[in-house]
Structure 1
Amino acid sequence: MGEKTLDTSVTNSKKRSYLPTAVAVYTTFLMCGIIMSISAQYKLQLAELWGEKGNIAAVLSVSSAVGVGGLIGTLAGPISDKFGRRFASIMACLCTVINFAGFMLAPNVTVAYICSLIGGIGNSFMNAGLTPSMQDAYPDKRSMLTVLTKFFVSFGQFILPFVIVAFNAQHISFKVAFWGITVVYAVIGIACFFLPFPEVGSQKKAAADKVSDSAKPKGKIKITFESVILGLMGFSTTAVFMVWTNTNQELGKLYGLSNPAMLQSVYAIASLISVLTTSAMVAKGIRESTILIVYPAVCAAGLLLSYFVQSGPLLYVLAAVMGWFASGGLMQLAVSLLAGLYPAHKATAISIVGLGNALSNWLVIRACGSITATAGTNAPRVILLMNMTIAIIGFVFGIFVRVSQNRRAKNNITDLES
């Protein structure tokens, strides 16, 4: 009894030692929510800064480079697993500093594009370094802590409009915001040199220490149908809310809303509440796969209803539904489940989901653009059907994951490393 108490005390002490790291991690994700939207808010100012006055298309082109950088940054996962979370986290901050300082100093769009691409690579390092560092530090709360990253990203997106209003009221240059982001990431990057980071796959190593040397895992991994589906969910879980956030304004106008911008506010508030609720549900023992089944199904039903019932007020309900059930941390749950299957290769697993995320950012926006160009005024409703189809695919993926989980449980298989 005395030894168990001592072990518990030591464990709790170790967990407490990661609190400063956790503060840095979630501050970074809060800032990530801000940087995801800030360029869109200052398109005209950035265009003028880069010598393309009035050319909003040039700024959109620069923003698209983030997705390209995310595809390149898929290698961040294996790098994080090989060289550690500290290295990956420092690289994430360095790339973001280059991105935003570069935006302010870029003499033209080409240089700004390169800086944005580096920022996309930084996003990959962020997911490969910061997210698994919390999973390694607190393995028993892996899903809850991963979903919390979504909360801080959503909160950053939520507060950004208020920051912009305050800046405008005080006649503060937009450059202050960009340089402020640069300084914050520089400070966090420097702090990462000194903050404690857990050992890669620490809980896997702890479990291996309890068995004989001959029985210890060899570090090999297995690729199964379940792990492939979880990787594909990086696409489906992102695409549903990406399509909504990029097309709801046009749908609102089509359905007669006088202020369709309110849809985004309803969506953001529902998303914030959902992430906290989903996190609490997981902490209480609700299976992640249950949420991955139910949430996409509700999204599909809401989108289908809004296709047939062309009502402006109903769109406010749909905005809340999409905020809650599409943006409630589904991708983070897929990340958590896949990382749990590969305890010693978490960052690599997370990068696979991130690859699906990057492809979604690129492909679905192109698809929406093509539909808009060919379907005319009815395009927003066609996009509703496309989004409903993606949600149904996500629902089917969730069922596959649940079946695979049950099969592994029967065979007493907890991970896919042996």
Structure 2
Amino acid sequence: MKNKYMPTAISLYLNYFIHGMGVIILAQNMTSLAQKWGTNVGGVSMVISSLGIGRLIVLLISGYLSDKLGRKPFVILGAVTYILFFVGIVASSSVVIAYICGIIAGMANSFLDSGTYAGLMEMFPTKKGTSNVTLKAFISAGQFLLPLMVSFLVANHLWFGWSFVFCAVFLALNLCFMIPAGKFPPVGTDVEVEENGEEEEVTEQKGNLWFDGTLFILYGYISQTTFYLVSQWVSEYGSQVAHMGSTAAHSLVSYYSLGSIICVLFTAVLSAKAVKEVQFLSVYTLISFVALLLMYLFPTGVICSIMSFVVGFSAAGGVMQLGLTVMADFFPKGKGTVTGIFYTAGSIASFTVPIFTGMMASNLSNVILFDVIVALLGFVVTTLITIRYYKLFGKKAKA
């Protein structure tokens, strides 16, 4: 708490609390939105895919520009465009307008990522992994709360749009602090190191651009796909395949989010005990593979509930943020640019996966099977990353 940038960091985390809601808010309101736009679940799924397009449009350039222009402008721009998304969705009357709003949401996510991840790594240079993983805790908190909010609105026959209004108002209030009072360290400054009166040697790039870069790009795609599929489809899978009731099926997303929150706390404790970020990657992806496989082979209410928690723990508990932190170790120059590259791969997943799953929607078992295969590939890729890490960093990796 002695870090003078802590109030700004808290504001950044609150943005991602709403982002957690934004990621699943369309999927959680599929039926209402389909009726509003005069389409079906497949049409809403296509609108969801537009978020990936929005991320793709600006993520690389915004990451690069955040290294040049600073972090704060992109955080503010991200919050403003997210507000436009929430308001635009409830005001839209067609799939076309909603699709445009979805693109705006994807752009908002990219702007936030470009300013936030790099900014936090500069605010907490000796705790990069923990600061980034904490973002996931706030994302998961939002994903845990939103299904409960939607269920409350449905049970009380209230307008579904109140959940969108809540998100827009919350972000607007947070902006009231960020615009006048938000403070960021100069780009590239190691704040904590300077405050301790110590100097930290700037490490040179050690990773191979083509081999290691390709591994991280693949992992960015795979890690996003693994938890994205579950967050978007687990409620429908529980309802149609496991034959769970509506309330119980919606609760699967909450179990998933609870698992991710607990994983963040667990990872933070181990990180404080000098367990390195890279040591989590292959273990968590293996757990994800096993949990998804069990969910596919034994689609019962009990198994789906337990495995939703386990997948949330292993695939959505900050492992993607840990992957970004490890990539920054391989390529320490230009944290904003690294963030842009890594999350561009994830945004490609956000765009392409809904298209694939839309074609599988007639048999949701195939959606989970697809996720099983992706998680297995993730284990292979993270194992290669771990091997490369220990080869490149040697004794330092074991310290």
TM-score bracket for the superposition, by shorter chain length: 0.7 to 0.9
Report the equivalent of 1:103.
89
Task: Say whether residues 1:228 and 2:204 are aligned partners.
Answer: no
The within-5 A match list for 1:134-153 is: 134-153=120-139
How far is the alpha carbon of 1:354 from its aligned partner?
Answer: 1.1
Q: Quick one: distance in 1 between partners of 2:31 and 2:236?
A: 21
Of 93, 106, 125 in structure 2, the residue corresponding to residue 120 of structure 1 is 106
Q: Quote the residue 2:21 is aligned against.
A: 34
CA distance in 2, matches of 1:249, 1:206: 45
Choose the corresponding residue for 2:375, options 385, 388, 391: 391
User: Paired residues, what number?
Assistant: 390
Paired AA for residue 15 in structure 2: T
1:72 matches 2:61: no
2:38–2:94 CA contact under 8 A, matched in 1: no
Which of 333, 345, 353 is residue 334 of structure 2 equivalent to? 345
Offset at residue 165 of structure 1 (A) = 4.7
Cα displacement string for residues 350-385 of structure 1 (whole angstroms, at most 9, x for unaligned residues): 111211111112223322333445xx5xx50x4444
State the shift of 1:400 in Å.
Answer: 1.5
Q: CA RMSD in A?
A: 3.3
Superposed, 1:392-411 pairs within 5 Å as: 392-410=376-394
Shift of 1:33: 1.1
Cα deviation for residue 294 of structure 1 reads 0.7
C-alpha contact (below 8 Å) 1:340/1:346 kept by paired residues = no
TM-score by length of 2: 0.85
Question: Structure 2 vs 1, CA of residues 205 and 218 (structure 1 numbering), >3 Å: closer, same or farther?
Answer: farther
The answer on 1:283 being equivalent to 2:257 is: no
Residue 331 (structure 1) aligned to one of 312, 320, 328 = 320
Shift of 1:141: 0.8
Name the CA shift for 1:327/1:411 in 2 (closer, same or farther; >3 Å). Answer: closer
| Aligned position for 2:306 | 317
- CA drift of 1:169 comes to 6.9
Contact 1:144/1:280 (CA < 8 Å) preserved in 2? no
Structure 2, unaligned runs of 5 or more = none
CA distance in structure 2 between the partners assigned to 1:280 and 1:336 by the alignment: 17
Bigger radius of gyration: 1
1:285 to 1:18, Cα distance in 2 relative to 1, 3 A: same
Pick the aligned partner of 2:252 from 263, 281, 285. Answer: 263
The letter of the residue matching 1:230 is: F
Deviating more after overlay: 399-408 vs 168-177: 168-177
AA of the residue aligned to 1:138: F
Is structure 2 residue 179 aligned with structure 1 residue 196?
A: no
Contact 1:33 1:153 survives alignment (8 Å): yes
Aligned match of 1:130 in 93, 111, 116? 116
Partner of 1:239: 225
Fraction of identical pairs, as percent? 28
Structure 1 SS opposite 2:65: helix
Q: Distance in 2 between matches of 1:368 and 1:245?
A: 13
Please say if 1:157 is aligned against 2:143: yes
Indicate which of 1, 7, 10 corresponds to 1:23.
10
Partner-residue secondary structure (3-state), 1:196:
coil
Task: State the TM-score, normalizing by the size of structure 1.
Answer: 0.81
2:34 & 2:292 partners in 1: Cα distance? 35
1:171-193 CA deviation, whole Å, 9 max, x = no partner? 75444443342233234334333
Q: Distance in 1 between matches of 2:371 and 2:42?
A: 25
SS of equivalent residue, structure 1 residue 258: coil
Match of 2:348 in 1: 359
Displacement of 1:392 after TM fit?
1.8
State the SS of the aligned residue for 1:189.
helix
Alignment gaps of 5+ in structure 1: 1-11, 414-418
Are the equivalent residues in 1 in contact too, given 2:46–2:355 (CA < 8 A)?
no
- Partner Cα separation in structure 2 for residue 314 and residue 281 of structure 1: 28
